[in-house]
Amino acid sequence: MRLKTTEKRQQPRVSFKPDKQLTAQMRIARKANTPIKVNIANISELGLCFYFSEKEYAPIKKGTHLILLKIEGEALLQDINDVDMVVQWSTYMGALNYELNGCRFLNLVPDYQFQLGEFIHNLLGSKLRSDK
């Protein structure tokens, strides 16, 4: 028997393996705090999913507002900065000792959305070509 699933995502996203790191610096909004450096698990034009070791930072709760300060590891995304995000969900990955957080962008300006779209579609297109 095959289960039917419904895709909830409204935009395509790309995922990153640990050997192809894409990282980001962010901070909790409305607080004068030191930026945290996280690993990006996946990204779309609507948001991103990131993770970090529980040893590095305190847990981040659902509903927390964050500021994406910058994305590192990809020249096409280096200009994206100061983007408000909200944590939509958060989970602890006990086997890996990581906290995983899914965020939605709140004020992604059209230029940033275009850059993200180009980056994602280029990656997805190259993956489709390599699968043939």
Whole-angstrom Cα Rg for the chain: 15
- Which CATH number covers residue 94? 2.40.10.220
Q: How many domains does the chain have?
A: 1
**84: closest CA among 123, 15, 26?**
26
Predicted local distance difference test score (pLDDT) of residue 13: 72
Judge whether 105 lies within some domain.
yes
**Is 7 a residue whose pLDDT tops 70?**
no
Judge whether 69 lies within some domain.
yes
Judge whether 1 lies within some domain.
no
**90 contacts 99 by C-beta, under 8 angstroms:** yes
Predicted local distance difference test score (pLDDT) of residue 15: 78
**Cα–Cα distance for residue pair 77/71, rounded to 1 Å:** 6
**Is 132 a residue whose pLDDT tops 60?**
no
- Domain with 107 in it: 21-131
**Is 12 a residue whose pLDDT tops 90?**
no
Predicted local distance difference test score (pLDDT) of residue 3: 37
Predicted local distance difference test score (pLDDT) of residue 127: 55
**Is 128 a residue whose pLDDT tops 50?**
no
Query: Tens digit of pLDDT for each residue in 29-81?
Result: 887 778 999 999 999 999 999 999 888 888 899 999 999 999 998 888 999 99
Query: Tens digit of pLDDT for each residue in 69-121?
Result: 999 988 889 999 999 999 999 998 877 788 999 999 998 999 999 999 999 98
Adjacent-strand bridge partners of 97: none
